[in-house]
Structure 1
Amino acid sequence: MKKKYLSVTYVAFFIATLFLSITVQSQSPFNCVTEAYLFQHNDVYAQNLASGNAVLDGINLTSEVINGVGYNDKDGYIWGSLKTSANNTIVRVGNNYEVTVYTVPGATYSYVGDINMDGIYYLKSGSNSFYKIDLDPESEDYLTKIGTGTLSQGIGNHDWAFNAADDMLYTVEKGSNILYKIDPATGNVTTLGEVPILSGLNYTYGAVYFDVDGNFYISANQTGTVYVVYAVQNVTSSLDMVSNLFAFGPSSSQNDGARCPTAPVPQEDCTNGVDDDGDGLVDCDDPACSGVAACPTITPTTTGRNGGLESNNRLSEKINQRNLNRIKTNDKFDRATAKRIYKSGSYGRKTSNTVSLWDFIPMDILEGTRAIESTPSDLVDITNATEVVAVDYITDNNEGAGTLLVLKTENSVYEHAKQICDRFTGSELLSVSNMEINEELFIKSIEKRPDGGIEYVASFSVRKSDDEQSYVVESHWNLDKYTQKGYYNFQIWASSIDDLYRLAEETLRLINIQKNITEYKSSDAPPIFIKKGNYSRGKIELDIVSTIGETVAEIEGKKRMTETSDSESVQFSIPLSGYVNHVTLDTQNLYDFGFRLKNEYDLTPDDLFLSDGTWGVDYSSEPFTQRFEVSQNTITFSDEEYGVERNFAATFEADQDVSIYRSLTPKFEKVDLSNYDIMRFNAKGTGKLKVILVKESIANWEDQPSITIDLSPNEREHIIYYNDLQSTAGVDEIILNDVKMIFFTLVSEGGSVAVEKTVEVNNIRFSEGNTAGTPDDVLTKMSVGPNPMENSTTFSFNYTQQRELTFEVFNILGKQVYEEAFTAKTGRNTINFERNNLASGLYFYKISAPDRKWKGKLLLK
């Protein structure tokens, strides 16, 4: 098997090179530290079990493979079995990774090994027999083989470890996933049952460890996932076995693990809102909290219908138009009614004619799911994809368990990568590392959506070899690493790491059936990556994860101030001091920013793309555009306002309506503007301007709330009160709690001759309208209690004069469910509100005078 590397930094390479150039130092022990040490081939990684993060700490310790490693409490060193032709060699490794070689007569190379608290080294290979070497420096039998033993039953295991709590050996068998306890004195094997968290898996568990509390940590080679069985010394069967996920690390092979069994491992408290174990993950984001307290075991995945458009500044306008078309036509995807896909009789067979994308679609792989088609066919019109197929794997309650999106491209790889810009639209990249499929490396990432759902993601692309007789699989984090060829591009996301692995493994099998895969080209995952980002008012806030500790990162990129301006180069140097680093970049106001996060060791960089909602032009037929310009705002928005960045100015010749529009967010998500009362902007131009606020909850385009104003040649401020908006949706009150877009439509005069239309709109913002009232008419110190309410609640407030007011309550759709007129008095006022027959949910209340109003939210349990 060829050598594989974990997705970690090669900092140690420079240290190791330095060691080779100076006089060899004497060995010193590790002693009992909290890290686990993962040996792979002849390299060693220091792994933080809490985070799963592994740092390459020593390179090329020997010329041969080191395996069967264990920590020796008697001397503080790590010992291992060395694979040599003599086959009777063991090694002692010190904390500077210098190696001392010892020949022990009767020893044989072993890939299973550990050392008990008395310094006795127990080694085993594939047979039932094991042998012992005395590694206690105070013993007269030091460095001699002191006996052999035979297990009472055969076990297909790849590592074992001593539990200091009971001095017993423990191991997990590949395939059966059974936990075994072994009495080292007799070789008696006790079957403790299948580990629940491993049920149904078929991984190799090449590294296992213990901590001071007897918690047993199990690392899966293929995915790098670390599992835990708590306090195994108390386990008698699967019925009292408590197991869970613990961390997500990188994959490995030809590996073995060693750790001081009396050292603690930091544990996450899943309810306190604190990163207790220092892995950068809090409460339910931490895999150790999966299924614990209020943390879900899995969360449903998103549909392929909305996938495939995550990054790229070249297509902003086309993407904007595509999303607009979906809104205008009320394009909704319903998994419950989507076309079901069945496994055909030709599934998994070589196609004699042209290969179809459907030949690569896994079927019957995820237990308890069915496949439905979710193809976003409109990607072909606006991306470099020439063919697209998407399949969702859904459960009986129509929730997603996984998705496969396949796109065919010509001459280049597909231009949108799922991980690139989601982190600027509310998602978080919790982890990125390698996993191993068919003994080859692929990059996996774990992403948290804005709604709190977790998705496990992998992507790779497949092209023909130069002679077109076979396939080449490429897996890279950076798109510019792909060869300039045509590809089949695969994007996979799932609700668990294991389902992601199953889908990817079966996809590769199906690819290989159509044409043999003869080559894999892969990159390591980036050792420094951006967990999440946010842009607001000229500043970018970043959380940067450094798996290599203290270092310096560089950001290089290009930004555009507006949609119609040229790009300019941007560069930042960022010192990083810890695992998670919060960084603020002063970029000034911008529209989009594509950049690369580089590390000082020239390892895989991280790429990101930030874009705001795009100003675009919408019309039924092409008008003659004389001018369309976007500029930055001329005012600074206050913290009490919701400001829409960038202004526009346009001149058209048209005989039809022409609209300038913008989504409030880059991905057309809804925004709650219900806490404000008015929309304000400055405008000038010719004719009439219709202002439309597009709500997600209103299906018919004609029903969207709107108002038409007259433009004047001279700029003036327009203030639009929410209650002045008109809608034919049949609601008594328009609640702007789910606004996705703003439209400014130059209204046609109805003639057949094109006429010139001009418009300029500046400084759009939403704010509270209370300042528009008279100074002596003020409502203050509003309180609602209880809120949430069960049967009744009381509204209390101070008012500055006696006046007739109206109290109203609306449901989430804007329908009035209660109204009461009352006379407010000077001083403290109260309104008692009874629930009556209202259903549970979110409601909105309004207290209004003839010229002003005050709003808020009310939750009914």
Structure 2
Amino acid sequence: MKKLLHIFLLLGISTYAQDVPFNCDYSAYLFQYNDVYAVDLASGNSYTVATDITEGNINAAGYNPADGFIWGSLTSPQKSIVRIGKNFNTTIYTINELPESNRYVGDINTDGIYYLKGGGKTYYTIDLNPESKNYTQYLGTDNLSENINIHDWAFNAVDGNLYAVEKKTNILYRINPENGNVLSLGVIPTLAGLNYTYGAVYFDASGRFYVSANQTGTIYMIQKVQDLTGANAMESNLFAFGPSSASNDGARCPTAPVAQEICDNGIDDDGDGLIDCEDPSCSGYSGCPVLEQSTASSGNAGGLESNNRLADKISKRNFNRTKSSYKFDKSTAKLVSKTSLYGNMATSRGALQLSDFVPLEVINEDVVIESSPSDLVGITNATNVYSVDYIRKDEAVASVLVLETTSGVYEHTKYICDRLLGAELLSVSTIEINEQQFIKALIKNIDGSLEFVLSFSVKTINNGNEYGVESHWNLDKYEDNVGFYNFQIWSNSLDDLILLGEETIRLMEIVKPISNYNNSTAPTVFVKKGTYHNGLLNLEIVNTNKSASVSFDGGLRTTETDVLDYVSTRIDLNGNYISTIDVDAGNLFDIGFRIGDGVETPDDLFMSDGPWGYDDAAPSTEVTKYTVETNYDAFESDEYPVERNISLEATTSEYIAAYRALTPKFNPIDLTAYNSLKFKAKGTGTLIVRLVKESVENWETQYKTSVSLSADFSEFSLPFSEFESSNGSPLEVTDITSLVFTMLAENGTEETKIMDLQQLRFSTSETLSVSSVNQDELLNPIAVPNPMQTRTIIHFTAQQSESVTLAVYNQMGALVREIPFQAKAGKNEILLNRSNLASGLYLCKVQSKITQYKTTKLLVN
């Protein structure tokens, strides 16, 4: 009897586990084949909540207010529907009156009546109210008053009607479920001109209608559809960027609210990490610009690296552009026009060119101009480069950059680098091209402009007869040691992005058939933005799938000439959607790292500080020594540090120069909060110091001053007023890109030139001064106060982070106290309490494996 009771208890528990309703939770649920995704309509972010929950594919999904479950129609078994619980257990019911297939539109009203249809006018009704005597029974068949091409409909709990959007026409329809009467409410303004399938639609408690486009994942919102008559104005706008999908359907409790962003209060009202105008839902509202009005960046500025292998060459390329005052001039750029050979160039001409893959006349552009950054060839792994900018109303709206590589994928993607340089990754999800999902990213650039970004690469396969397409977030997912055509496409419009992507793939297929796609999923945990300052990486992490923690694995270099060190740690996120965390990375020049939860695609980032480099372009110049080292001294809180010191030696009969960019891409910095440049230096002869302004086009009129160096270090404080231009204009430090330090050979004869530069920083001081520096003082710890009564602090400067020990000896040389201490690079303080120390003289020694510090005498009263 006990055994039978035990079995009954287990059965009861199992039945209960299968009967957990959703009970009107706030998520929207997207069904794709037989997988389920939870979608946050406010942010558009989604994550997988269940996979392979049924044998057949699920469509026509709807939330049932009568029982709290989600129901859907199945492809297998035929003529079946399915009930889905919150734990994604399923129960299948056969409805013999249903057709065997073609059932992909469905939703359930407040009384539990399921309205189900496919193509054509016919729709079917099924009773899904568990209190009804007809529960799970077929009720009848009706017909719509007109045939409309829709792929989902949803009940509005405010008025009890069904609503849907027609493909191609983008007309919003109201459908009376009782009699099938169809009323056109007009074209949705935000969707006008688009050609998408709207396979997932949802409502909220206020009667706002949310429409998701399959191909782009974009979510649009129409306000209070119950108030529309077909004659009055319709208010609609872009709402969020979600995942693309196919064979899909959406379900959501229609009486659950959706958080709304208030667009002018400086608060993240809807909890998606975006405030006011940066939130897509504010596009065109409360003074916010329409999201797609910003200017896209030029392809001429694209293509910089995503690792540290080429940092010195990339920085020299940028310096040469700065020195020559290079600026891409779109007004003089070569026009690219569509010819009769477009789409058939390779076979007609017999020689394939990168321009053959570039779309033309697909996004309603006014003109297309060539913008190829040809100076990437030779300093990256690209062997051939071609890019164009698409111009509309004299502004760039999109760019396509094509790079040919012969051994591996091109080593840069736009979204890897820019987030730690002031840009932000607002969202990352997917778009659909040729029924394949590609990762799309929405990036807010440093200048505030917005760009949608798509990257993929194409290689030859099957003995060169076909193409294979690869698209990955992580560069190490691409096949090694093969050649690729690498495509980077960005636009200020997501709709234009997908058109350019589709046409690029079509142009590839004209040359060779594409027989294989190998695409990765988008990361669900990613860094939205980050900064590096004083040894700390500050990261804002978006955690769409509620991971408890992520791993952090990276490689960093402390200076431009140092070797790579590897770091690894664990970051707790506690399931929070947004987390701001600090990672102690120590002083560094660059770092590449990965965060991931071990389940979904990890996120990769690369950050470089503004680089040091040298200009040895003069034919007679030969650099014999060049090292970059970490700053030993700490900076004051009111100073702008220019990190790392350099030591440079060269022979020349002309000149040698060292430069330091303030940002990795030589972007301008506003230094109006500061008044002077300070540094320590020693060397041979005169050092010319330039503050390079972005707005100055002629190198000879850049602002400069000079100082005399000697064999010993001196501290220099140079007010900005000391820097002069040959044009006589006073210096305005609103757009400083770099510092350049130049030494000239006297009388054109060969000389050895030496410069050692340390502790560069911009200061609020306005005093011109030069003072000698005793380098030995850096190795001499100081006790303050000395003599001490009850306590003192030992001050010392460490060259880098390390574990040290403060050892205290009495006059007889006996060790009386040891204090372990974790030193950081720069200034450090160790507290020494008197405790049981008797009055007298003591010797204090900071013991280090790296630095030989001097002994400090301490008097205890």
Q: What TM-score do you get using the length of structure 2 for normalisation?
A: 0.85
Q: CA deviation at 1:598?
A: 2.2
Tell me the residue number matched to 1:576: 573
Map of 1:336 onto structure 2: 331
Aligned to 2:621: 623
- Structure 1 counterpart of 2:295: 300
Question: Given the alignment of the two structures, is residue 98 of structure 1 paired with residue 89 of structure 2, yes or no?
Answer: yes
Specify which of 42, 46, 55 is matched with residue 47 of structure 2.
55
CA contact (8 A) 1:114 1:123 kept: yes
Contact 1:105 1:144 (C-alpha < 8 Å) held by counterparts: no
2:361 to 347, 361, 364: 364
Aligned to 1:327: 322
Paired letter, 1:296: P
SS of the residue 1:422 aligns to: helix
Are 1:202 and 2:202 counterparts?
A: no
| 1:67 has 2:41 as partner | no
Note if 1:517 corresponds to 2:514: yes
Q: After TM superposition, list the pairs within 5 Å mapping 1:73-222 onto structure 2.
A: 73-84=65-76, 87-108=78-99, 109=101, 110-222=103-215
Q: Distance in 2 between matches of 1:652 and 1:43?
A: 65
**How far 1:709 sits from its partner (Å)?**
1.4
1:413 partnered with 2:405: no
Deviations 1:639-696 (Å, cap 9, x if unpaired)?
2111110111122222121001111111101111222222111111111111111111
C-alpha contact (below 8 Å) 1:310/1:420 kept by paired residues: no
Separation (CA, whole Å) in 1 of partners of 2:259 and 2:458? 41
| CA shift in 2, pair 1:238/1:769, >3 Å | farther
Aligned length: 749
Give the superposition deviation at 1:548.
1.1
Partner of 1:399: 395
- Give 1:336 shift: 2.7
Taking the aligned partners of 2:451 and 2:230, their CA distance within structure 1 comes to: 32
Q: CA deviation at 1:240?
A: 0.9
> Alignment partner for residue 432 of structure 1, among 428, 447, 450?
428
Q: How does 1:478-557 map to 2 (within 5 A)?
A: 478-484=474-480, 485-557=482-554
Task: Tell me: CA distance 1:238–1:371, structure 2 relative to 1, closer, same or farther (3 Å).
Answer: farther
User: For 1:384 and 1:265, how far apart are their aligned partners in 2?
Assistant: 47
Q: Which residue of 2 aligns with 1:661?
A: 659
Aligned position for 1:378: 375
2:374 counterpart SS class: coil
**CA distance in structure 2 between the aligned counterparts of 1:505 and 1:264, rounded to whole angstroms:** 36
Cα distance, 1:105 vs. partner? 2.9
The 1-side partners of 2:530 and 2:324 are apart by 32
Amino acid paired to 2:586:
Q
CA contact under 8 A between 2:368 and 2:391: conserved in structure 1? yes
Match of 1:739 among 736, 740, 744: 736
Q: Which runs of 5+ in 1 are unaligned?
A: 1-18, 774-861
The answer (yes or no) to whether the contact 1:123–1:130 under 8 Å persists in 2 is yes
Q: What runs of 5+ residues in structure 2 fail to find an aligned partner? A: 1-9, 770-861
- Partner AA of 2:713 in structure 1: E
Q: Percent identity?
A: 50
Task: Write the distance in 2 (CA, Å) between the matches of 1:391 and 1:770.
Answer: 47
What is aligned with 1:698? 696
C-alpha contact 1:369 1:401 (8 A) present in aligned 2: no
Whichever residue aligns with residue 95 of structure 1, its letter is K
Residue equivalent to 2:343: 348
Taking the TM superposition and a 5 Å limit, the aligned residue runs for 1:409-808 are 409-484=405-480, 485-577=482-574, 578-601=576-599, 603-619=600-616, 620-621=618-619, 623-731=621-729, 733-752=730-749, 754-770=750-766
- CA deviation after TM superposition for structure 1 residue 195, in Å: 0.9
Cα separation, 2, equivalents of 1:238 and 1:366: 31
Q: In the TM superposition, what is the alpha-carbon distance from 1:311 to its structure 2 partner? A: 2.2
What SS does the aligned partner of 1:682 have? strand
Amino acid at match of 1:106: E
Structure 1 position 621, deviation (Å): 2.2
Instruction: Compute the displacement of 1:23 (Å).
Output: 5.4
Q: C-alpha separation between the residues in 2 aligned to 1:726 and 1:259?
A: 66
Task: Select between 522-531 and 346-355 the one with higher mean Cα deviation.
Answer: 346-355
One-letter code of the match for 1:480? D
The 2-side partners of 1:490 and 1:368 are apart by: 20
Q: What is the rounded CA distance, in whole Å, between the counterparts of 2:571 and 2:146 in structure 1?
A: 57
Instruction: Confirm or deny: 8 A CA contact 1:704 1:729 kept in the other structure.
Output: no
Go from structure 1 to structure 2 and tell me whether the alpha carbon gap of 1:304 and 1:71 turns closer, same or farther (over 3 Å shift).
Answer: same
1:122 to 1:604, Cα distance in 2 relative to 1, 3 A: same
User: CA–CA distance in 2 between the matches of 1:241 and 1:509?
Assistant: 36
SS at match of 2:41: coil
- Equivalent position amino acid for 2:189 in 1: P
Distance 2:747 2:553 in 1: 51
* In 2: Cα distance, 1:286 partner to 1:310 partner: 29
Specify whether residues 390 and 368 from structure 1 end up closer, same or farther in structure 2 by C-alpha distance, changes over 3 A only: closer
- Report the 3-state secondary structure (helix = DSSP H, G, I; strand = E; otherwise coil) of the residue aligned with 1:750: helix
Whether the aligned pair in 2 keeps the contact of 1:698 and 1:729 (CA below 8 Å) is no
Bigger mean CA offset, 698-707 vs 139-148:
139-148
Asked whether the equivalents of residues 403 and 485 of structure 2 are also in contact (C-alpha less than 8 Å), the reply is yes
CA distance in 2, matches of 1:499, 1:71: 34
Q: How far did residue 342 of structure 1 move?
A: 0.8
- Matching residue's letter, 1:683: A
Letter in structure 2 aligned against 1:720: L
Q: Structure 2: how far apart are the matches of 1:693 and 1:56?
A: 52
**Amino acid of the structure 1 residue aligned with 2:159:** D
Task: Tell me the distance in 2 between the aligned counterparts of 1:54 and 1:697.
Answer: 44
Distance 2:41 2:675 in 1: 51
1:243 matched to 2:236 = yes
Tell me, yes or no, if the aligned pair for 1:152 and 1:187 is still in contact at 8 Å.
Answer: yes
**Cα shift readout 1:788-826 (whole Å, capped 9, x = no counterpart):** xxxxxxxxxxxxxxxxxxxxxxxxxxxxxxxxxxxxxxx
**Cα deviations by residue, 1:246-273 (Å, 9 ceiling, x for unpaired):** 1111111111111111111111111111
Kindly tell me: are residues 702 and 422 of structure 1, through their superposed partners in 2, closer, same or farther at Cα, counting changes over 3 Å? Answer: same
CA offsets, 1:276-334, max 9 Å, x none?
Answer: 11112111121111111222112110111101114221111111111111122221112
Name the counterpart of 2:848.
Answer: none
Q: Which amino acid aligns with 2:723?
A: L
3-state SS in 2 of match to 1:351: helix
| More moved, 505-514 vs 612-621 | 612-621
Give me the whole-angstrom Cα distance separating, in 2, the residues matched to 1:467 and 1:253: 32
Q: By how many angstroms is 1:771 displaced?
A: 6.7
Query: How far, CA to CA, are the matches of 1:452 and 1:625 in structure 2?
Result: 40
Amino acid at match of 1:136: N
- Opposite residue 669 of structure 1, the aligned amino acid is N
Amino acid at match of 1:460: F
Q: Which residue of 2 aligns with 1:826?
A: none
Q: 1:422 & 1:308 partners in 2: Cα distance? A: 12
- Asked if the contact 2:620/2:653 (under 8 Å) is kept, the reply is no
